[in-house]
Amino acid sequence: MARSSEIGPGPTGPIFVLGSASPARLRILRAAGVEPVVRVSDVDEDALLAELPDSTPAGVVVAELARAKAEAVAALPEIAELAGSGDPVVVIGCDSMLHLDDRLLGKPHTAERAVAQWSEMRGRSADLLTGHHLIRLDRPGTAGGTGSTTIHFADADDDVIHRYVASGEPLQVAGAFTLDGLGGWLVERIEGDPSSVIGIGLPLVRTLLRDVGLSVTDFWRH
């Protein structure tokens, strides 16, 4: 039985640690039968991005951000202690960005940036890249990868864009859109893994777990 989202007395079993504050990632894992321990890293994303050479491939950028988050969470004392539990323990970090016109677009944070970004995105296609990095703590093992899904955006008019931005939803999400919220109305179609667009790719995580000697079924709730 996989351990619940709080660390402390309780059932033993494989422990899946999600190194992210994203409610969407947590929803995906819970819907897929995994109840993770949630811990958030204090990684300064802007500082890390500034350290990477301008020539760094987009897929490597999101992979490096994911790695930094996973390593930061794995180093937390209460998480590191879990390695001695005798059960499998994994930590996963994720990071998503939209690749448009050879630029990586993250969270816009402000309404002005979100409107400007949507003015560029509407009626076009872009690739949503999600980096994943998994660390196994009970024995040495790491695995990483990047999921890429092509998003075809609707040719939304100015009024729709402004009303969407006014909702606040796009301000704190990569690429200024969601697939599983209001933003879903503004996506014509996708080519690739929908769970990766929402924030954590289940097929890729399944593969990463296999690479460190585990099965996703080890973490299913019973």
Residues with catalytic function: 95
Strands (E), the chain: 15-18, 37-38, 89-100, 103-105, 125-136, 142-153, 187-191
Q: Which two tokens stand for residue 41?
A: 């890293």
Q: 3-class SS at 52?
A: coil
Of the candidates 30, 74, 80, the one whose C-alpha atom is nearest the C-alpha of residue 202 is: 30
The dihedral formed by the CA atoms of 23, 32, 92 and 60, expressed in degrees to the nearest 10: -90
The answer to whether the beta carbons of residues 138 and 85 sit under 8 Å apart is yes
Q: Which two tokens stand for residue 49?
A: 């991005």
Of the candidates 77, 131, 67, the one whose C-alpha atom is nearest the C-alpha of residue 104 is: 131
